[in-house]
Amino acid sequence: MARCTASAAGGDVWQRATVKSISGDECTLDLIDYGNEAIVDSEHLRAMPVAYAAFPPLAYRCTLAVSEFTGREIPKELLVDFFKERRPIRAFYMGTKNDRMLVRLANCDDMYLGENLD
């Protein structure tokens, strides 16, 4: 995957990206520091300066390990309850699968998201 910088809709903000695919004048990109995808016109791409390429990503794509290990989805209500308090959350790296980090999430009270799905 080629690294580049991209400006969405021709704006003044340039973001680090990798090119996933090209179709005509449109490029599908992984935005390195945001963890999401964007589709931009090729005229809004530039070569990434070497100095910017040296920095590690500011975002990583993750999957909740509990879903991977149990094969069960975490109910939406449980996710909403876990995040609604807006308190710090710790992420624990459990491994990698399909280019995504597997993580467990815990709140300040050491309550792990999805710990008791039964």
pLDDT tens digits along 56-112: 999 888 888 776 667 777 788 888 888 887 788 888 998 988 878 888 888 888 888
pLDDT for 5:
93
Burial (CB count within 10 angstroms: exposed 0-12, middle 13-18, buried 19+), residue 11: exposed
pTM score, whole prediction: 0.65
**Span 35-43, mean pLDDT?**
90
Q: Tell me what the pLDDT averaged over the chain comes to.
A: 85
Structure-token match 């308190």, residue found: 87
Query: Which residues, listed in sequence order, are joined to residue 30 by a DSSP beta bridge?
Result: 18, 37
pLDDT for 89:
86
Cβ–Cβ under 8 Å, residues 66 and 104: yes
Choose the CATH number for 3-53 among 3.40.50.150, 2.30.30.140, 3.20.20.100, 3.10.105.10. 2.30.30.140
**Span 48-60, mean pLDDT?**
90
Domain ranges for the chain, please list them: 3-53, 62-106
CA–CA separation, 26 vs 32, rounded Å?
Answer: 18
pLDDT for 47:
92
